[in-house]
């Protein structure tokens, strides 16, 4: 780490650059305009009021995830997809996913997501290094972030450990991982509480991942 001014002092002075973090893994900072972010936050709230609220997932070993999640489209539980839809994945969200893939790769490749996982992180929530590997399709994963900033750790396809790259994801950022990076380990080791723009009206961090299950 190089020495620098305290966090936040240089915010907005330098544009954050689009980056290919690994082959097939593309970070597009600030992809969602503020108005679109507010609409997505409102939708995430609405889904949480429905019959399938945000819940801490209980893992098969008995552990409880610190993140609270809900599914749209085909339901997921650790570690499989059920042959069941709780809340429909709205067509506008699938369309946003296609535009996201086109933004990342220049072509949407016929991306047809049939499930989305929405994760809510409070100040203490984390997500350990894991692969998204219950899907039976090589289609990419589209990740959209809202609210607080976080460290998104993007690793390799072999191990949970190094080599990995830490990327700061902020509200409105798009991250797509597919191709040779589709089954890379990734996780969220840290959220920076209170870093969301107050105008967004969200305390904490939301992340949506759109996936094509191939099931």
Ligand X SMILES: O=C(O)CCC(=O)C(=O)O
Residues making contact with ligand X (CB under 6 A): 117, 119, 127, 132, 143, 152, 186, 188, 207, 209
β-strands 80-85, 64-77 pairing: antiparallel
Partner from Fe ion, ligand X, none contacting 127, C-beta within 5 to 8 A by type? ligand X
Partner from Fe ion, ligand X, none contacting 94, C-beta within 5 to 8 A by type? none
Q: Are 96 and 39 in contact (CB under 8 A)?
A: no
Determine the Cα–Cα distance for residues 27 and 131; give it in Å rounded to an integer.
18
* Shortest reach from residue 208's CB to ligand X, in Å: 9
* Residues from 176 through 195 that contact Fe ion (CB under 5 A): none
* Shortest reach from residue 3's CB to ligand X, in Å: 28
Determine the Cα–Cα distance for residues 129 and 184; give it in Å rounded to an integer.
9
- 132 to 171: interface string for Fe ion, x by CB under 5 A: x---------------------------------------
* SS3 (DSSP) at 6: coil
Determine the Cα–Cα distance for residues 37 and 21; give it in Å rounded to an integer.
24
- Closer residue to ligand X in complex, CB, 94/191: 191
- Closer residue to ligand X in complex, CB, 132/168: 132
Q: Which residue has the tokens 């600030």?
A: 30
Partner from ligand X, Fe ion, none contacting 25, C-beta within 5 to 8 A by type? none
Q: Which residue has the tokens 């009021």?
A: 49
Determine the Cα–Cα distance for residues 188 and 128; give it in Å rounded to an integer.
6
* SS3 (DSSP) at 210: strand
User: Which position's Cβ is nearest ligand X?
Assistant: 207
- Closer residue to Fe ion in complex, CB, 39/55: 55
- Closer residue to Fe ion in complex, CB, 96/184: 184
* Shortest reach from residue 177's CB to ligand X, in Å: 9
- Closer residue to ligand X in complex, CB, 25/188: 188
DSSP 161-184: SSS-EEEEE-TT-EEEE-GGGTT-
* Shortest reach from residue 210's CB to Fe ion, in Å: 12
Q: Which residue has the tokens 């679109």?
A: 36
Residues contributing to the site for Fe ion (CB under 5 A) = 132
């Amino acid at each position: 780490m190089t020495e620098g001014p305290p966090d936040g002092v240089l915010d907005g002075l330098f544009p954050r650059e689009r980056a290919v973090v690994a082959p097939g893994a593309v970070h597009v900072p600030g992809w969602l305009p503020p108005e679109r972010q507010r609409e997505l936050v409102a939708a995430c709230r609405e889904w949480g009021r429905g019959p399938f609220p945000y819940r801490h997932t209980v893992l098969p070993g008995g552990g409880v995830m610190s993140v609270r999640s809900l599914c749209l489209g085909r339901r997921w539980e650790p570690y499989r997809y059920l042959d069941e839809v709780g809340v429909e994945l709205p067509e506008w969200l699938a369309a946003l996913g296609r535009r996201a893939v086109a933004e990342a790769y220049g072509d949407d490749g016929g991306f047809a997501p049939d499930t989305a996982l929405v994760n809510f992180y409070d100040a203490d929530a984390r997500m350990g290094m894991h692969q998204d590997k219950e899907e039976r399709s090589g289609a990419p994963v589209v990740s959209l972030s809202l609210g607080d900033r976080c460290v998104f750790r993007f690793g390799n396809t072999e191990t949970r450990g190094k080599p990995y790259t830490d990327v700061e994801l902020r509200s409105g950022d798009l991250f797509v991982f597919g191709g040779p990076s589709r089954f890379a380990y990734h996780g969220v080791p840290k959220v920076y509480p209170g870093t969301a723009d107050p105008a967004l009206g969200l305390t904490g961090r939301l992340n949506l991942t759109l996936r094509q299950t191939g099931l």
